[in-house]
Amino acid sequence: MIIKEKWREHPLYKQGKIELVPTDWVWQYFGRDVSPEADLMDGTLVSMDTLWENICEEGLYDPLIMRIGLGNKKFRLESGNHRIQVFHEHGVAMVPLTVEVREACGPELPDVMTDATHNFDAPDGFLISVITDAHMKPSEVFQDIKDMQNNNS
């Protein structure tokens, strides 16, 4: 199955802020308590099967977003919790991801993009300690992603 990579037209991709990362890496950080229905770009709520069908037909427009909070040392999959489930289920090996860098991260903040309550403690492998840009490539933030890329080079 080849998914149309419409995310390559996204402004963040053109700025070099999106890269493909292993689905299994993102999968370990998705919100397990996310609502059972997903929303399409137009806001329509759909089942996971319909989400997958839509992605297969229309392509993938937006990258998944991992948000990190440098001040509270937390991170979470902020956008893409439903998509990562269907990608995992259907064996999609790599997914487009960007990292949104904030001072704080968590489900209690006013600008969350998901109804899931998950949050993870920052790993020892955070590569940044100050906010230099609002979005970054995952390999600029997570040591294990950088290591995976170096091992595949």
Mind giving me the DSSP string for 60-113? --S-EEEEEETTTTEEEEEE-HHHHHHHHHTT--EEEEEEEEES--STTSTT-S
Q: Is the pLDDT assigned to residue 69 strictly greater than 90?
A: yes
What is the distance of C-alpha 100 from the center of its chain? Answer: 9
Which band of pLDDT confidence, cut at 50, 70 and 90, is reported for residue 132? confident
Report the number of secondary-structure helices (H) and strands (E) in the chain: 5, 8
Q: Say whether pLDDT at 128 is over 80.
A: yes
- Give the mean model confidence (pLDDT) for residues 29-38: 94
State the amino acid at position 45 in one-letter form: L
Span 37-59, average pLDDT: 94
**Which has the higher per-residue pLDDT, 152 or 71?**
71
Q: State pTM to two decimals.
A: 0.94
Residues of the chain above pLDDT 90, percent: 76
Domain residues of the chain, as ranges?
6-151
